[in-house]
Amino acid sequence: MDMRLQHGFSLVEVLVTLLVLKVGLLGILAAQTVALRQVQDATQRTQAVALSYALLNELRANQSLSTAVGQHVTRYTELPVIPVCTPPTPCSAEQLADAQLHHLFSRLQPQHGAGLYEPEFCLQSQGAAVRLDVSWQQRAYSAEPTGQSCAAGAGRSGFTVQSRWR
């Protein structure tokens, strides 16, 4: 049989083609994994910003909320009981602050799907100035909660928001 008359691919060429295809598909899969992680991080940051600005807006509306919030809030912080106010007797500012705090931070509980892992909010207010430090654990990083820090660091993302009332 004459080799010049045969057409087609040799087994070596087919194996090389499969190897190149496999490397390309693995590269695409790795890029998709990185993109998914970036989307999750962006979603966490968006939710943290939304919660932070909601808290600052509530503080602006009811200044007695700053004493109800305290200086450090995590998802393990015990929330106040929602007060029952009836129309003849309106809620006091403190009762309203308790209801606002319960509404805001009940979204941090895992059953509500807040999207933030181990969030921490630290509030410092001096007169008309307020500083809110927010941090959360990154999804890819598994460690114990830092507790009382609210600072970004190894495996934690975070930011600081400063506001003035006047």
Tell me the pLDDT tens digit for each residue of 52-87: 888 888 888 777 777 766 677 777 777 777 777 777
pLDDT of residue 56: 84
pLDDT band at 144 (very low <50, low <70, confident <90, very high): low
According to the model, what pLDDT value does residue 58 have? 80
Q: What is the pLDDT of residue 21?
A: 96
Q: What is the mean pLDDT of residues 15-42?
A: 92
pLDDT digits (tens, 9 = 90+) for 90-121: 877 777 777 777 777 776 665 555 567 788 88
Query: CA-to-CA distance for 123 and 11, rounded, in angstroms?
Result: 68
At 165, give phi and psi (nearest 5°). Answer: -80, -30
Tell me the mean pLDDT in the region 127-144. 77
pLDDT (tens digit per residue) in 122-134? 888 777 788 888 8
DSSP per residue, 120-155: EEEEEEETTEEEEEEEEE-TT-------S----BTT
Say what the pLDDT of residue 6 is: 67
Q: Find tokens 């890819």 and name the residue.
A: 140
pLDDT of the residue at 74: 76
In the DSSP assignment, the letter for residue 107 is G
pLDDT of residue 166: 59
Determine the number of helices (DSSP H) and then strands (DSSP E) in the chain: 3, 4
pTM of the full structure:
0.68
